[in-house]
Amino acid sequence: MASLVSFIKRIYNVIYPPTVPKISSSSSSPSSTPSGPLKFGILGAANIAPPALILPARSHPEVVVYAVAARSLQRAQAFAKKHGIEKAYEGYQALLDDPDVDVVYNALPNALHYEWTMKALAAGKHVLNEKPSADTAEETRKMYEFAEKKGLILLEAFHYRFHPALKRAKAIIDSGELGAVKNITVNMILPKGPVGVDDIRFDYSLGGGAMMDMGCYAMNCVRYMSSSEPTSVVATSHVAFVPKSAPASYVKNVDRRMEATLGLPKDVTATIVCDLGVPPTFGFIPKMPKIGFTMDCELGSLEMYNHVIPTLYHSITVKIKGGHTRVEKVYKGKEGKGEEWWLTYRYQLEALVDRIRGREPETWLTKEDSVANMEWIEKVYEKVRKYNRARRQLLMRVCRQDSVVGRNLAM
């Protein structure tokens, strides 16, 4: 009964987080720069924005969601009215031109991350950039180098990395309790339905594909939990996305499903499976989502269910060979900041604000981490020659975008 009550309270606060008073200039310490709350502007009236920023901001005393920009003013105004946002802009540049915006949340499609993150940095804004960071590792590298040159903070939004549940799973592996890691399997699998056929995730020109969307989590998880970089892409298999009424001339250039086997140091192997829409059994029995990872080790195994949104529910199952099995759940760390109802996004926001304010965050993702993740995503696509997106078409776009923002690079 106690666990049920805790679950209900947790979910209620996820949906209706408490709103806290925002700090004012007078309440800020003399060393705070700038004083008062950080004003965030959202690029794109996207569905991800409410859980990723708007709801977490309510309970953060140093954050105000101040502005939103969309391609049409009507869409921006409707989004602003719905979520209590002060400013609405037609066009993304108009928001960047607002001197009151301190931080930009880039919630645009993948193919627009590079262009608008570079423009936001050129305008002097810190950036929280949705994952995957960009279309290529080269784009990612350029963004971070420019942020460093401008003295600004850039963070790729791998929100799940900030939650204490994942940290606990990593601590168990790092403790040596289960011995050396032998194999890692990460599943990021959705049933057919939630991702519609007209979704941007199925649009190649916007950086779509299962490996780009769900797969970027899987690749990041393998690298984080193994504390190592892959050494090779051993094998891949894929299923192309094909609309039901696709003409004969339809180009199959986006992966609906991607599987990859990776080689890691010390003879460790890893398998990632990501799917944006598994068809129902017998054509009508829907599949269940499969989100989690398993680590097979010398002395046992660790399985974490729902590592991406653990606040809703998760489990960490530890099995000792020839011994006992235990299940752990961690909704709040024993030390540090946080509440049981904090979403992964709220922990992420805490870390971002700490870094911008000059405080040391409990968790952080580095430039090297983001660049390496895109490098290995590219290598998976290169293994599947059909989806080799790492070169000509994308590099041509990079060159066009560089011509737009290049004049700012000398600033």
Q: Is residue 307 helix, strand or coil?
A: coil
Residue 106: pLDDT above 80?
yes
Residue 281, strand partner residues: 285
Q: What is the pLDDT of residue 5?
A: 87
CA distance 269 to 264: 6
Residue 48 pLDDT? 96
Return the residue matching tokens 């968790």: 363
Q: What is the pLDDT of residues 4-58, one digit of tens each?
A: 888 999 999 999 999 999 998 754 444 445 579 999 999 999 999 999 999 999 9
Nearest to 355 by CA among 165, 118, 102: 102
- Are the C-beta atoms of 169 and 316 separated by less than 8 Å? yes
Please tell me the least confidently modeled range out of 15-29, 84-98, 142-156, 166-180: 15-29
Question: Which residues, in sequence order, are bridge partners of residue 183?
Answer: 269, 296
Pairing of strands 268-278, 315-320: unpaired
| 192-203 confidence digits (pLDDT tens) | 999 999 999 999
What average pLDDT does range 117-135 have in this prediction?
98
Alpha-carbon separation of residue 237 from 100, 254, 272, 275, 391 (angstroms): 48, 13, 11, 12, 21
Q: Which of 39, 119, 125, 131 is catalytic?
A: 131
β-pairing verdict for 181-191 and 232-240: unpaired
* Rg, C-alpha atoms of the chain: 21
Residues 317-346, mean pLDDT to the nearest whole number: 94
For the segment 390-405, what is each residue's pLDDT rounded down to a tens digit? 443 444 444 444 444 5
- Confidence (pLDDT) at 305: 98
Give the whole-angstrom CA distance, residue 289 versus residue 194: 10
The answer to whether 165 and 310 have CB atoms below 8 angstroms apart is: yes
pLDDT classification of 410: cutoffs 50, 70, 90: very low
How many other C-beta atoms lie within 10 A of the C-beta of residue 6?
A: 14
| pLDDT score for 392 | 37
Cα 72 from chain centroid (whole Å): 26
Record the tokens describing residue 78, joined without a space.
Answer: 């409707």
Across residues 129-134, what is the average pLDDT?
97
Half-sphere exposure at residue 3, Cβ-oriented, CA atoms within 13 angstroms: 6
Tell me what the mean pLDDT of segment 129-139 comes to. Answer: 97
The span from the CA of 114 to the CA of 84, in Å, is 28
pTM for the model: 0.92
User: Could you give the CA distance from residue 233 to residue 58 in angstroms, rounded to a whole number?
Assistant: 43
Question: What is the spatial distance between Cα 239 and Cα 254, in angstroms, rounded to a whole number?
Answer: 9
Question: How far, in Å, are 141, 225, 234, 288 from residue 192 at the CA level?
Answer: 34, 29, 28, 10
DSSP 262-298: EEEGGGEEEEEEEEEEEPPBTTTBPPPPEEEEEEEES
What are 262-305's pLDDT values in tens digits? 999 999 999 999 999 999 998 889 999 999 999 999 999 999 99
Diameter over CA atoms, the chain: 66
Q: Is residue 236 pLDDT above 70, yes or no?
A: yes
Q: Is the pLDDT of residue 377 over 70?
A: yes
Q: How many residues does the chain have?
A: 411
At residue 145 the predicted structure's pLDDT band, cuts being 50, 70 and 90, is very high
Is position 22 annotated as part of the catalytic site?
Answer: no
Average confidence score pLDDT of the chain:
92
Q: What is the mean pLDDT of residues 149-173?
A: 98
What tokens were used for 200? 């941007």
Contact status, residue 409 vs residue 148, Cβ threshold 8 Å: no
Confirm if 260 and 271 have CB atoms less than 8 A apart: yes
Using CB atoms within 10 A of its CB, is residue 367 exposed (0-12), middle (13-18) or buried (19+)? middle
CA dist., res. 153 & res. 150, Å (int):
9
How much of the chain, in percent, has pLDDT values that exceed 90? 84
